[in-house]
C-alpha cells in the first residue's frame, strides 16, 4: 500500500514537471505579447506589468495576420479535400474490386509513405516551375494532397474492406450500382476513418513550412508558418510584437486540437500502428 | 443470375451472389468504373510524387544552375563531390547524432514518463492533452518560440540564473559546440508528447493480470517492467524508433529557422544543405544529387528496418513489399 502511494506521488511529481516544461514556453509567448520590449529586456521571465494589449491589437488590426491565416486555411482545405476525395475513391477500388495488379498498385501507393515531402522538395520545385504553378495556392495544395494520398489509402482500405459484403449485396439487390453503393452507403459508413484521414491531411498541410517557403516569394501568398518565421526576422528588434504574433498564430492549431483531440490522437496512434 | 462455379471473391466476401455474378464478366463497365475511381489518384500520385523523384535522378547527372539548357552532362561527379565535401559529411553526421540521441535520450524519457503518467492520476485527461499540445504546433512556430527564449540574456538564461544554475548558461545558438544539442532539446520538446501518447496507448494494451501475476510470483517492480511490460511495448517502441529516425534524417524546419545550419555549418543537416545549395546557390544539378542521396538513405533505412525489426509486428503492406 505504501509503495502504491509512493508511486502515485512520483506520478504527480512527473506530471508537474512535464506540465511545466510543456506549458511554460507557451505562457512565455502569450504573456510576452502583453509586455513591452523594455519590460522583456529588464526581466525576460517576468509577468506583464502593466498589461499592454497594444501588440495584439495592432496585429489583429493589420491585414498581414489575417492574410496568412486565410492562405493557410485555403491551402489546407484544398489539400484535404483533394487527398480525401481521390484517396477514398482509390481506397474503394483497392478494397472492394477484384482486378489484376491490385496488390502491386496498393504497394505502389504505400511506397509513398517512405517519401516525405522534404526529400522530394527540390525536384518538386523544378517540376512546379515547369508546370507554371509557382506563386499559386494550387502549387502547394496539390503536391501536399499527393503526399497525403499514401497514408489516406493505407488507413481507408482496411476500413472499407471490413464493411460486410452483405450490405453491398443488399444495395445491389435494391438496384444500386457499385458507384451508387460507394457514394450513398460506403462513404457514410466510413465517416470515422474519413475524419481521421482528413484531420491528418489538414494538420500536415497546416504545419508545412518548406514547400510554401520555396513556392511563394510574394508575402501576400504566405501561409502562417512561413509568416511567423518571416515576421520574426522582419521585427527582430521588436520581441514583444513577435511574441504577440506567434501567440496569435498558435491559437488556430491549439483550438483545432482541442476540438479534434480524440481524432488527432486516435488517428496518429492508429495510423502508426498500421 | 448465374450462380454456377465462381470460386473467385468468396474468400473475401462470402455470400455475395449479386457481385459474384458480375465478377463473372469483367465488363467494360467495370473497367470504366476502375478507371474513374483509380485514375485521378494515380495521376496525382505519379505526377507529384513519382515524377519529381525521377526528375531528380536525371538532373543529378548534370551540372546545371536551373536555367538554360541541360547540356553539361557530368555523370556521377555531383555525387562524388557531395560525399567528398566536409560540410555534407558533417551534415550526415549531424543527422545521425540527432537520430542516435533520439533513441538514447527521448525513448527512455518517453517510456519512463508514460509509465509514470499511466497511473490513476487526477486530471489525467487534461494532462495528456497538454503534453500533446506542442506536437500540434508547427515546427516553424516551435522554432520561433525557442529562438526567442534562448536569446542571450533572455528567458532561458534568466531562469537558469534564478535557479542558481547561472554557470550552465551558454551561447545556445551561437556556440558551434552546443548548437546541435540545443536544437535536439527543442525537437525533444516538440515531439516528446507524441512518444508519450503513443506509449500510453501501448501500455493500455498490457493486461493488468499479467503484472499482478508477476507480482504474485515475487517479481520486483523493476523485474515486472523489464520482463513483462517492456516486451509487450515492443511493437510500439519499434514503430516509434522508425518514425523518429526517419524524422531525424529529414530534419529541416527547426534548424533552418533557428540557425540556418550555422554557425560555421555546426548544425547543417542533409535537408538544410540541400536547400542551401539548390535554392540559395542555384546548384540545381548538385542539389538534385543531394536529394537523391537523402532519399536513398531514408529508403534503405526504411527497407532494412521493415525487414529486420518491424516484420514481426505489422501485417501491413510495407512488410509485404520487401518479402
Query: pLDDT tens digits for A215-257?
Result: 999 989 999 999 999 999 888 888 899 999 999 999 998 888 8
Query: pLDDT tens digits for B76-124?
Result: 888 998 899 899 999 999 999 999 999 999 999 999 888 887 877 777 7
Count of other CB atoms within 10 angstroms of residue A228: 26
C-alpha cell at A108: 505502389
Cβ contacts of B52 on chain A, cutoff 8 Å? 120, 123-124, 126-127
| Contact between chains at A19 and B154 (C-beta distance less than 8 A) | no
| Contact between chains at B19 and A29 (C-beta distance less than 8 A) | no
Total number of residues shown for chain A: 274
| pLDDT at residue A269 greater than cutoff 80 | no
ipTM: 0.87
* Residues in chain B where the model's pLDDT stays below 70: 1-26, 311-323
C-alpha cell at A102: 491490385
Q: Is the peptide bond before A50 cis (omega within 30 degrees of 0)?
A: yes
| Contact between chains at B36 and A179 (C-beta distance less than 8 A) | yes
**Res A270: pLDDT:** 58
Q: How confident is the model at residue A272 (pLDDT cuts 50, 70, 90)?
A: low
The three-state (H, E, C) secondary structure of A78-140, written as one string: HHHHHHHHHHHHHHHHHHHCCCCCHHHHHHHHHHHHHCCHHHHHHHHHHHHHHHCCCCCHHHH
The minimal CB distance from A143 to the residues B48, B53, B201 is found for: B48
Which of the two residues, A259 and A161, has the higher pLDDT score? A161
Residue of B nearest to A248 (CA): B141
The minimal CB distance from B155 to the residues A28, A87, A179 is found for: A28
The minimal CB distance from B138 to the residues A93, A242, A253 is found for: A253
Q: Say which residues have a Cβ less than 8 Å from residue A213's Cβ, sequence separation at least 6.
A: A226
| pLDDT at residue A274 greater than cutoff 70 | no
Rg (CA), chain B: 26
Query: pLDDT tens digits for A54-99?
Result: 889 999 998 899 999 999 999 999 999 999 999 999 999 999 999 9
Residue of A nearest to B133 (CA): A254
| Contact between chains at A11 and B119 (C-beta distance less than 8 A) | yes
The minimal CB distance from B298 to the residues A8, A114, A126 is found for: A114
| Contact between chains at A113 and B53 (C-beta distance less than 8 A) | no
pTM score over 0.90: no
Query: pLDDT tens digits for A135-190?
Result: 999 999 999 999 999 989 988 998 899 888 888 889 888 888 889 999 999 999 99
Alpha carbons B54 and A123: distance in angstroms, whole number: 8
Residue A10 near residue B116 (C-beta atoms within 8 A): yes
**Res A265: pLDDT:** 67
Shortest Cα distance, chain A CAs vs residue B17, angstroms: 7
Residue of B nearest to A141 (CA): B48
* Three-state secondary-structure class, residue B73: strand
The minimal CB distance from A93 to the residues B37, B147, B221 is found for: B37
Residue of A nearest to B241 (CA): A272
Residue of B nearest to A237 (CA): B148
Cβ contacts of B51 on chain A, cutoff 8 Å? 127
Cβ contacts of B280 on chain A, cutoff 8 Å? none
Cβ contacts of B48 on chain A, cutoff 8 Å? 124, 127, 142-143, 146-147
Amino acid at each position: 500500500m505504501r509503495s502504491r502511494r509512493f508511486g502515485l506521488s512520483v506520478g504527480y511529481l512527473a506530471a508537474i514537471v512535464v506540465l511545466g516544461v510543456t506549458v511554460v514556453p507557451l505562457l512565455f509567448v502569450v504573456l510576452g505579447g502583453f509586455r513591452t520590449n523594455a519590460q522583456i529586456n529588464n526581466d525576460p521571465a517576468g509577468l506583464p506589468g502593466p498589461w499592454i494589449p497594444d501588440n495584439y491589437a495592432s496585429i489583429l488590426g493589420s491585414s498581414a495576420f489575417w492574410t496568412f491565416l486565410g492562405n493557410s486555411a485555403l491551402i489546407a482545405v484544398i489539400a484535404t479535400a483533394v487527398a480525401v476525395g481521390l484517396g477514398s475513391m482509390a481506397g474503394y477500388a483497392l478494397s472492394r474490386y477484384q482486378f489484376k495488379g491490385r496488390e502491386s498498385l496498393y504497394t505502389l501507393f504505400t511506397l509513398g509513405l517512405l517519401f516525405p515531402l522534404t526529400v522530394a522538395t527540390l525536384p518538386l520545385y523544378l517540376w512546379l516551375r515547369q508546370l507554371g504553378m509557382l506563386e499559386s495556392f494550387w502549387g502547394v495544395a496539390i503536391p501536399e494532397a499527393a503526399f497525403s494520398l499514401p497514408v489516406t489509402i493505407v488507413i481507408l482500405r482496411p476500413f472499407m474492406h471490413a464493411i460486410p459484403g452483405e450490405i453491398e449485396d443488399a444495395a445491389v439487390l435494391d438496384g444500386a450500382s457499385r458507384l451508387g453503393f460507394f457514394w450513398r452507403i460506403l462513404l457514410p459508413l466510413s465517416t470515422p476513418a474519413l475524419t481521421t484521414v482528413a484531420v491528418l491531411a489538414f494538420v500536415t498541410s497546416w504545419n508545412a513550412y518548406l514547400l510554401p517557403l520555396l513556392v511563394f516569394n510574394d508575402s501576400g501568398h504566405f501561409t502562417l508558418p512561413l509568416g511567423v518565421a518571416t515576421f520574426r526576422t522582419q521585427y527582430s528588434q521588436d520581441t514583444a510584437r513577435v511574441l504577440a504574433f506567434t501567440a496569435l498564430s498558435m491559437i488556430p492549431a491549439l483550438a483545432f486540437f482541442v476540438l479534434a483531440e480524440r481524432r488527432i490522437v486516435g488517428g496518429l496512434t492508429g495510423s502508426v500502428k498500421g | 443470375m448465374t450462380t454456377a462455379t465462381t470460386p473467385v471473391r468468396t474468400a473475401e466476401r462470402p455470400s455475395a451472389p449479386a457481385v459474384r455474378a458480375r465478377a463473372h464478366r469483367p465488363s467494360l463497365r467495370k473497367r470504366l468504373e476502375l478507371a474513374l475511381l483509380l485514375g485521378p489518384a494515380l495521376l496525382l500520385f505519379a505526377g507529384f510524387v513519382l515524377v519529381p523523384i525521377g526528375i531528380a535522378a536525371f538532373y543529378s547527372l548534370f551540372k546545371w544552375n536551373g536555367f538554360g539548357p541541360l547540356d553539361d552532362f557530368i555523370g556521377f561527379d555531383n555525387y562524388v563531390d557531395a560525399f567528398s565535401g566536409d560540410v555534407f559529411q558533417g551534415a550526415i553526421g549531424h543527422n545521425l547524432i540527432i537520430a542516435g540521441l533520439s533513441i538514447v535520450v527521448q525513448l527512455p524519457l518517453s517510456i519512463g514518463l508514460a509509465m509514470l503518467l499511466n497511473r490513476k492520476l487526477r486530471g489525467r485527461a487534461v494532462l495528456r492533452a497538454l503534453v500533446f499540445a506542442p506536437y500540434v504546433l508547427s515546427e516553424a512556430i516551435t522554432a520561433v518560440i525557442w529562438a526567442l527564449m534562448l536569446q542571450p540574456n533572455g528567458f532561458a538564461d534568466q531562469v537558469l540564473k534564478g535557479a542558481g544554475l547561472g554557470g550552465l548558461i551558454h551561447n545556445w545558438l551561437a556556440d558551434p559546440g552546443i548548437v546541435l544539442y540545443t536544437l535536439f532539446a527543442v525537437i525533444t520538446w516538440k515531439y516528446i508528447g507524441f512518444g508519450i501518447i503513443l506509449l500510453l496507448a501501448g501500455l493500455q494494451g498490457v493486461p493488468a493480470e499479467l503484472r499482478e501475476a508477476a507480482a504474485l510470483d515475487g517479481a520486483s517492480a523493476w523485474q515486472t517492467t523489464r520482463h513483462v511490460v517492456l516486451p509487450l511495448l515492443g511493437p510500439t517502441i519499434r514503430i516509434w524508433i522508425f518514425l523518429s529516425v526517419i524524422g531525424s534524417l529529414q530534419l529541416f524546419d527547426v534548424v533552418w529557422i533557428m540557425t540556418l545550419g550555422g554557425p560555421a555549418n555546426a548544425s547543417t543537416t542533409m535537408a538544410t544543405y540541400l536547400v542551401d545549395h539548390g535554392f540559395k546557390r542555384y546548384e540545381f544539378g548538385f542539389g538534385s544529387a543531394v536529394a537523391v542521396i537523402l532519399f536513398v538513405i531514408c529508403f534503405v533505412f526504411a527497407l532494412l528496418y521493415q525487414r529486420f525489426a518491424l516484420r514481426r509486428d505489422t501485417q501491413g503492406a510495407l512488410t509485404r513489399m520487401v518479402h
